[in-house]
């Protein structure tokens, strides 16, 4: 558990005869809903396999197991530890010895110890037919035994927990927490995960799924960009790389990170529920000055954000005519509006405006970034911010400021990744649907 922003974990491993849930770190309701989205009823689960007792892996178990008598497979220490999570009454335990093998229906399960700060954490390798799947999340470093066990798998689910630089510069985690995460009993960084995968080459491995990303200290793009070039250098450009991400940020979904349906026999990844697979294809994004012809697209993206209610203080939709004057008040040389071109469509835009009218604030500029619903998670917002940071000084700017609703977590994450820090909080200054909203001020000098 990295903190309140960390998501929980649950995964489904399926063959045509068998359904195994790995960990239950989301609410029981969400587990059931998401299983249904994979076409599996909870009654059909043949077993629930635990990696370790941390809350982001077991928090939904109590309710789930009260409703469904699913056999829980884990080692004795983990069983002991999670009995405290209200599972004292649970009858159906299948205790295994760490390092041992057992079968659930047609799936051979191998367990092995992993170094992590839990009582007896394990990783798994699954074999069905001639296919294999490795599953390692929450580990500080790869042991020799673990690498040997994973040599036989075709697919590897591995944690890429954090980007080392982002973690080190994260202003919200105290130093002891950072040390714990980076320690040999903490979590794998993107770079560490890349080196684990490299050790499995050439081997049987065909694809990797990156998971357990820290929400504050990582992004799918960073994780993928840490792994892909290394694979290419190792002559494995063909290796498929996926990243499991959470799509929506709200308090009930925050606990839930990863639900993946893996069909070992067919070797298919399936999109499911709130989550989707982001494939790694790099998108070409070109940032340019907006022209008036772009105004309809700019307005459309803006209106979608207004409808979502979380990303703009504007409450009513705007019109192209209504925004023309606003548009003409900007110019490429002073307070420009930029658009991000992708595949000949506009994926997002950024506008600058005066922060405060006094001379002393001349170099301080407020910026707004909007990304089209359709082009989320393709690096559009990041690219726009990077451009602002790079070109700001030429435009006479020394400080960039973004005003963001306190509940707009995706935008806050975006600004943080671009090196912005929280400079201020104005509590309850906005009203959205009668509810008071905080306004946060994110800024950085350029
Ligand atoms: Zn975890
Ligand atoms: Zn853990």
Q: Does one domain contain both 46 and 154?
A: yes
Which CATH number is 77's domain given? 3.60.15.10
The ligand with the least distance to the CA atom of 26 is 1
Q: Residue 260: left (phi > 0), alpha (psi -120 to 50), or beta?
A: beta
Q: Give the pLDDT mean for 355-383.
A: 88
Ligand with smallest separation from the Cα of 115: 2
Q: State whether 191 and 305 are in the same domain.
A: no
- DSSP characters over 199-221: HT-SSS--EEEEE---TTT--HH
Residue 314: other Cβ atoms inside 10 A: 11
Q: What pLDDT does 310 receive?
A: 66
Whole-number Å distance, alpha carbon 121 to ligand 2 midpoint, is 8
Question: How many A from CA of 416 to the centre of ligand 1?
Answer: 22
Q: Which ligand is nearest to the CA of 52?
A: 2
Question: Model confidence over 74-99: pLDDT tens digits?
Answer: 999 999 988 876 787 788 899 999 99
Phi, psi of 97 (to 5 degrees): -90, 130
Q: Are 114 and 123 in contact (CB under 8 A)?
A: yes
Q: What is the mean pLDDT of residues 347-372?
A: 92
Give the pLDDT confidence score for residue 35 in this predicted structure.
84
Q: Which residues have beta carbons under 5 A from ligand 2 (an ion)?
A: 54, 138
Task: Tell me the pLDDT tens digit for each residue of 244-267.
Answer: 765 432 223 222 233 333 433 333
Inform me whether the pLDDT recorded for 225 exceeds 80: yes
Q: Which pairs from 82-86 meet CB under 8 Å and 24+ separation?
A: 82/50, 82/53, 82/58, 85/53, 85/58, 85/59, 85/61, 86/62
- Taking the centre of ligand 1 as the mean of its atom positions, its distance from the CA of residue 12, in whole angstroms, is 16
Same domain, 258 and 300: no
CB contact at 8 A, 399 and 443 = yes
In the prediction, which pLDDT does 7 show? 63
pLDDT of residue 280: 33
Question: Which of 210, 235, 267 is where one domain is finished?
Answer: 267
- Judged by its nearest atom, the ligand closest to the C-alpha of residue 181 is 2
The DSSP letter of residue 281 is P
Query: How remote is the CA of residue 62 from the centroid of ligand 1, in Å?
Result: 18
User: Distance, CA 362 to ligand 2 centroid (Å)?
Assistant: 48
Query: What pLDDT score was predicted for residue 85?
Result: 67
CB 211 within 8 A of CB 245: no
Q: What is the dihedral of CA 159, 196, 167, 162, to 10 degrees?
A: -20
Residue 2 within any structural domain of the chain: no
CA 160 / ligand 2 centre spacing (Å): 13
In the reported structure, the alpha carbon of residue 330 is separated from the centroid of ligand 1 by a whole-number distance in angstroms of 47
∠ at Cα 174 (168, 177), nearest 5°?
Answer: 80
Q: How many domains does the chain have?
A: 2
Mean pLDDT, residues 354-371: 91
Question: How confident is the model at residue 216, as a pLDDT?
Answer: 87
- In this prediction, residue 224 carries a pLDDT of 92
Could you list the residue range(s) of the whole structural domain that residue 36 is in?
11-267
Q: Is the pLDDT of residue 420 over 50?
A: yes
Task: Check whether 6 has a pLDDT greater than 70.
Answer: no
Which of 267, 296, 323 is a domain's end point?
267
pLDDT at 2: 18
State the average pLDDT for the chain: 84
**Ligand having the closest approach to the CA of 117:** 2
Which range, 20-29, 288-297, 306-315, has the best average confidence (pLDDT)? 288-297
For position 283, what pLDDT does the model report? 57
* More confident call, 56 vs 190: 190
**Ligand 2 centroid – CA 182 distance (Å):** 13
């Amino acid at each position: 558990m990295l903190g309140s922003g960390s998501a929980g974990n649950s995964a489904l491993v399926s063959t045509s005869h068998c359904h195994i849930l790995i960990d239950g770190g989301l609410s029981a309701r969400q587990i059931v809903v998401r299983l249904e989205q994979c076409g599996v009823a909870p009654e059909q689960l043949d077993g629930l396999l635990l990696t370790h007792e941390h809350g982001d892996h077991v928090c939904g178990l109590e309710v789930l197991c009260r409703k469904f008598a699913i056999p829980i497979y884990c080692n004795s220490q983990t069983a002991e530890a999670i009995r405290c999570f209200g599972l004292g009454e649970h009858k159906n335990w299948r205790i295994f010895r760490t390092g041992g093998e057992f079968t659930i229906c047609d799936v051979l399960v191998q367990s092995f110890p992993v170094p992590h700060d839990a009582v007896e954490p394990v990783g798994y390798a699954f074999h069905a037919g001639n296919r294999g799947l490795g599953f390692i999340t929450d580990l500080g470093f790869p042991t020799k035994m673990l690498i040997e066990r994973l040599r036989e798998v075709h697919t590897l689910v591995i944690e890429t927990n954090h980007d080392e630089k982002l973690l080190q510069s994260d202003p919200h985690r105290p130093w002891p927490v950072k040390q714990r995460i980076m320690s040999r009993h903490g979590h794998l960084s993107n770079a560490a995960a890349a080196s684990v995968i490299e050790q499995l080459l050439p081997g049987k491995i065909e694809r990797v799924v990156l998971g357990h990303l820290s929400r504050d200290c990582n992004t799918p793009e960073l994780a993928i960009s840490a792994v892909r070039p290394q694979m290419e250098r190792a002559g494995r450009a063909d290796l498929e790389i996926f990243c499991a991400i959470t799509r929506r940020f709200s308090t009930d979904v925050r606990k839930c990170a990863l639900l993946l349906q893996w069909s070992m026999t067919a070797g298919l990844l399936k999109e499911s529920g709130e989550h989707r697979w982001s494939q790694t294809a790099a998108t070409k994004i070109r940032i340019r000055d907006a022209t008036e012809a772009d105004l309809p697209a700019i307005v459309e993206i803006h209106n979608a954000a207004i409808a979502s209610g979380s990303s703009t203080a504007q409450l009513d939709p705007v019109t192209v005519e209504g925004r023309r004057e606003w548009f003409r008040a900007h110019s490429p040389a002073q307070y420009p509006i930029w658009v991000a071109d992708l595949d000949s469509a506009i994926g997002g835009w950024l506008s600058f405006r005066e922060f405060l009218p006094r001379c002393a604030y001349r170099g301080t500029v407020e910026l707004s970034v909007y990304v089209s619903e359709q082009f989320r998670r393709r690096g559009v917002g990041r690219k726009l911010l990077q451009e602002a940071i790079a070109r700001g000084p030429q435009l006479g700017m020394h400080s960039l400021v973004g005003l963001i609703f306190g509940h707009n977590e995706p935008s806050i994450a975006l600004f943080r990744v671009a090196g912005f820090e929280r400079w201020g909080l104005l509590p309850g200054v906005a009203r959205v649907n009668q509810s008071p909203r905080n306004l946060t001020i994110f800024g950085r000098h350029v």
